[in-house]
Chains A and B, each alone.
Chain A
């Protein structure tokens, strides 16, 4: 069993009439990415603020890097980096000044702080803008500077609260690269997001929070498996052969289902998909397609997308699964 670097039990926090956290348990293994997913107002940010020592919970226990967050906040602060939901860089300071200030507040020597700032600015492709006040930066640049600021002290645990909200897709992928690099270098990352795609791409494990409660905790694949079965998808090389492909796939369909043209959101046309009972359907489908003379450019088994999982878990009429047990 690997070591837990974030552990929270029974966190509760109330703001006026809103129960922002209603008994949240969290666990993150060292060297992994934990994705915290949930709709707006689910309590994701509140949970991060508690773990990052910014907010005291009404009830509950939390430890980060093995240190009690409530008893020794200063010790926790030496080991974490936080990037909030809104880019909180200082607009009047230059990129370098922003990062050097953080370094100084982390008790780095001035020369070390400057060196680290230059290193991070270079890495985040901000070297050219290093001497300009941050108010002249574009939204994406600010976001990168904000992320750089949370990495100045080479933190053991990094909290990223919706780090890619409002970024265009290319910039988002850059950010994912940064997260992966941090984990490769030994950090652990807790990241909240509203984008399922992001959680799917980055997280080793996912916690789904809704209305201040954890409603699921699993690996991305485990979550997908929980909601629906496998789908077999085929794309004929010649779009005119789609009807033939449909006929072939009907033969391997799970009981009570049939093949259909794939029209999931965002998919290119011309694909055919069918729910299957087990992965052995693949072994049957390929020879059958060969016999029918249908050439394919794509053939594969898919789990349902996290989007489907998420909607199934958070929709109000779905019975809320209670088995959100932790490791």
Chain B
């Protein structure tokens, strides 16, 4: 225990300088705000349906309803193909709730208080995004766990599987900034979902998530090749069931960087403008 904590004699100079410097303060504030989001998540477990029950239903539906028809009766083979793809789709969808929650927070005036405090503009957003790691990890655990029960097998090894999960979470954290931005610009949290579905459905179905691109017409194949979901799914597939990893991995990382470079500033700007 130091005398400093007991007797904080604040001169004007002390009070204007964040404790430990600006970067340390940003980290501390983001962690405090991430903790807030986690408490909210724990208090409302029903808000986790989109990262637990929903991916399981998709997995069951596509394996048992469409799987036979798509893969000519080889359901197990299709499950091995489908699961890495559905993992990517579920992560993209998992970020929707974040934009909705932020939108609701702003509407309720909770963010007015944060904005009247000496914290960096990005801290409330960064904190909320950081707390989303828990949701993305949940998606991965639920899908791999339930997939295993259905007969899915990792064919590569433990470390590649861990790498796949890490990449998936990293992608989720980059992709969700789109949702954050949308959450800042639309008027209601319901609208966030509408806009994000409009974006995610073409991305996830117009990709290699469910079927191989070479079964599609040429113009659609062109879209599949420029779709960020495609290299992500390629990499996760390679890391879980084998196949080329290097080239799709670089493309995925480039997409992640691109998403951050574009949507973090957009989200921040929209956040600052929203009165």
Measured between alpha carbons, how far is A53 from B113 in the docked complex, in Å? 11
> When the two chains form their complex, are residues B116 and A54 in contact, meaning their CB atoms are under 8 A apart?
yes
Looking at chain A, what size class is its interface with the partner chain? Answer: 20 to 34
Q: A-contacting residues of B (Cβ < 8 Å)?
A: 5, 8, 15-16, 18-19, 25, 28-29, 32-33, 35-36, 39-40, 43-44, 108-110, 112-119, 123, 275
Q: Is the CB of A107 within 8 A of B116?
A: no
**B35 contacts across to A, CB distance below 8 A:** 101
A105 within 8 A of B: yes
Q: Is A238 an interface residue (CB 8 A)?
A: no
Q: Interface with B: A86-94, A118-126, A203-211, which one? A: A86-94
Give min CB distance, B193 to chain A, whole Å: 20
| Residue in A53, A107, A149 whose CB lies within 8 Å of B25 | A107
Contacts of A85 in B (CB 8 A): 109
Consensus secondary structure, chain B interface: helix
> What per-residue 1/0 map shows which CB atoms of A76-112 lie under 8 Å from chain B?
0111111011101110110001000110111101011
Query: Would A49 and B275 be within 8 Å (CB), given that A82-B113, A102-B113, A106-B117 are in contact?
Result: yes
* 26 CB < 8 A contacts A-B: A52-B116, A54-B275, A74-B118, A75-B118, A77-B117, A78-B118, A79-B15, A81-B116, A82-B116, A88-B113, A90-B110, A92-B40, A92-B44, A101-B33, A104-B28, A105-B32, A105-B114, A105-B123, A106-B117, A106-B118, A107-B19, A107-B28, A109-B5, A111-B5, A112-B5, A112-B8
A278 CB–B CB distance under 8 Å: no
Q: Is the CB of B36 within 8 A of A80?
A: no
* Pairwise interchain contact A102-B275, C-beta atoms closer than 8 A: no
Q: How far is the CA of A149 from the CA of B117 in the complex (A)?
A: 11
Q: A220: shortest Cβ distance to chain B, in Å?
A: 28
Asked if A101 contacts B32 (CB within 8 A), the reply is yes
CB < 8 Å neighbour of A78 from B5, B16, B112: B16
Interface digits, A258-282 against B, CB 8 Å rule (1 contact, 0 not)?
0000000000000000000000000
B98: min CB distance to chain A, Å: 15
Contact of A54 among B15, B36, B112, B118 (CB under 8 A): B112
Q: How far is the CA of A148 from the CA of B30 in the complex (A)?
A: 22
Interchain CB contact (< 8 A) of A93 among B25, B39, B275: B39
Min CB gap A94→B, angstroms: 9
What 1/0 mask marks residues of chain A from 44 to 78 whose CB sits below 8 Å from any chain B CB?
00000100111100000000000000000011011
Contact, CB under 8 Å: A105 / B275: no
> What residues of chain A lie closer than 8 Å to B19, measured between beta carbons?
107
- Extra 17 A-B pairs, beta carbons < 8 Å, given A101-B33, A104-B28, A107-B28: A49-B275, A52-B116, A54-B112, A54-B115, A78-B16, A82-B116, A88-B112, A92-B43, A97-B36, A101-B32, A104-B29, A105-B32, A105-B33, A105-B123, A106-B117, A112-B8, A133-B43
A80-B116 in contact given A54-B275, A104-B32 (Cβ < 8 Å): yes
Cβ of B69 to closest chain A Cβ, rounded Å: 44
A129 to B149, CA, bound (A): 45
Whether the pair B117, A86 counts as a contact (CB closer than 8 A) is no
B113 contacts A78, CB within 8 Å? no
Of B28, B44, B117, which contacts A102 at CB under 8 A?
A: B117
* Nearest A residue to B8, CB-CB: A112
* Distance in Å: Cβ of B241 to nearest Cβ of chain A: 40
Cα distance A65–B21 in the bound complex, in angstroms = 23
Contacts of B110 in A (CB 8 A): 88-90
- Contact for B36 among A55, A79, A101, A111, CB less than 8 A: A101
A102, B119: Cα distance in complex, Å: 10
**A97 contacts which chain B residues (CB < 8 A)?**
36, 39
